[in-house]
Amino acid sequence: VFSKIFSHEALESYLPKIQLVIKDTLRAWSSNPEPINVYHEAQTLTFRMAIRVLLGFRIPDEELGRLFEVYQQFVENVFSLPMDLPFSGYRRGIRARETLQKGLEKAIQEKLQNTQGKDYADALDILIESGKEHGKELTMQELKDGTLELIFAAYATTASASTSLIMQLLKHPRVLEKLREELRSKGILHNGCICEGSLRLDNINGLHYLDCVIKEVLRLFTPISGGYRTVLQTFELDGFQIPKGWSVMYSIRDTHDTAPVFKDVDVFDPDRFGQGRSEDKDGRFHYLPFGGGVRTCLGKHLAKLFLKALAIELASTSRFELATRTFPRITLVPVLHPVDGLKVKFFGLDSNQNEILTGADALLGATV
């Protein structure tokens, strides 16, 4: 039922709306006179994308802000001890989940009643229709659970990867310039502007260097450490017997760090995925940012599409610089992110891609 949400046709439908959300967000970042906390803002961006694009909810900004605060409280307590005591993280998480589901039920009911003016099929539309095609009319509780799962899947890991992407483009300006060169060569970027109608799904999928950049971000800065599986039948691994019914965890980060196919594993090098090297092609499970096997992440194509759309906008319409003297330390839990969130200053641009001078810089006649 869920798989249809991430089909090629569905992604094509979401793309214009994703681009619009990203454009509006970068415009807001650039208009802020102060540096922004990229990780926090990326969380806000991915939450807005999930609510407005995937689910098609028409929630006012003020209400959306309140829902985001409640959602953050829910996420912060997901990994708490399951002890239902007053003031415990578990209790706070449960209460946040109940508040979220009330808000989601209201949004779902309004959506089901107001079908006019729709110009695309969002994920919730597809989910409902897919359920009917499989002979399963989804209940309101199933719709609320499915909606919450979609938001959760689109939120933390994508915000983590978005932050890592921006940090690497700051660290490696040559990579950013090479991205711009590819966009120009493909007719997407011309005179500092994205050509109208050029960002279709097939065009984006044809940007090979962009694909290499996203792959390298996900290799070196995998948002989550690993995944869990249940053993279906007893087997042996390196002389150890793993009994049926046990839970096992596979480590994505350790795999990426130790896989023999990757050279200089600590170096950010998108070209390792280029046609000349293709380091990810040797073996099935050396590169697995989205897991592997039949339980691989269903939303991986949507996540990569979002990151590519963000990278295109960053390379085409944005100027940004680190707002601190050094790059921040990285923490790995609950998902990989900079400890201080990564402080970055974005600059507004005029139609000729020149930074717009404001304040003292403009008065002093500063040149850019």
Q: Does residue 45 lie in a domain region?
A: yes
Which CA distances in Å does 322 have to 35, 204, 360? 9, 28, 20
pTM here is 0.91
Tell me the pLDDT tens digit for each residue of 57-76: 989 999 999 999 999 999 99
pLDDT at 351 over 70: no
Q: Does residue 105 lie in a domain region?
A: no
Tokens 């953050």, residue located: 72
Q: Does residue 113 lie in a domain region?
A: no
Higher pLDDT, residue 317 or 40: 40
pLDDT at 353 over 80: no
Q: Does residue 248 lie in a domain region?
A: no
195 is in an annotated binding site: no
Q: Which residues neighbour 213 within 8 Å (Cβ) at sequence distance 6 or greater? A: 165, 168, 175, 179, 270, 311
Tell me the pLDDT tens digit for each residue of 76-89: 998 889 999 999 99
Tokens of 12: 């094509």
Q: Does residue 20 lie in a domain region?
A: yes
Q: Does residue 110 lie in a domain region?
A: no
Tokens 């793309």, residue located: 15
Tell me the pLDDT tens digit for each residue of 266-297: 999 999 999 889 898 878 889 999 998 888 89
pLDDT of residue 352: 52
pLDDT at 364 over 50: no
CB atoms within 10 A of CB 121: 15
pLDDT at 365 over 60: no
CB atoms within 10 A of CB 277: 14
pLDDT at 357 over 60: no
Query: CATH number of the domain that 30 lies in?
Result: 1.10.630.10
Tokens of 64: 């959306």
Total domains present in the chain? 1
The pLDDT > 90 percentage for the chain reads 74
pLDDT of residue 356: 44
Q: Does residue 21 lie in a domain region?
A: yes
pLDDT at 34 over 60: yes
Over range 223-229, report the average pLDDT: 92
Tell me the pLDDT tens digit for each residue of 185-213: 999 998 878 888 889 999 999 999 999 99
Q: Does residue 163 lie in a domain region?
A: yes
* Mean pLDDT for all residues in the chain: 90
pLDDT at 117 over 80: no
The pLDDT > 70 percentage for the chain reads 95
pLDDT of residue 116: 76
DSSP, collapsed to helix, strand or coil, labels residue 346 as strand
pLDDT at 358 over 70: no
Task: Give the burial class of 351: count Cβ atoms within 10 A of its Cβ; 0-12 exposed, 13-18 middle, 19 or more buried.
Answer: exposed
pLDDT at 27 over 90: yes
DSSP, collapsed to helix, strand or coil, labels residue 340 as coil
The number of helix segments (H) and strand segments (E) in the chain equals 12, 11
Single-letter amino acid code for the residue at 75: V
Q: Which of 52, 90, 54, 57 is nearest to 74 (CA)?
A: 90
The pLDDT confidence band at residue 121, using thresholds 50, 70 and 90, is confident
Q: Are 337 and 43 in contact (CB under 8 A)?
A: no
Range of the domain at 157: 4-56+120-218+297-365
Q: Give dist(CA 301, CA 342) in Å, integer.
A: 26
Task: Give the burial class of 165: count Cβ atoms within 10 A of its Cβ; 0-12 exposed, 13-18 middle, 19 or more buried.
Answer: buried
Q: Is the dihedral of CA 117, 305, 174, 290 positive or negative?
A: positive
Over range 166-191, report the average pLDDT: 95
pLDDT of residue 276: 87
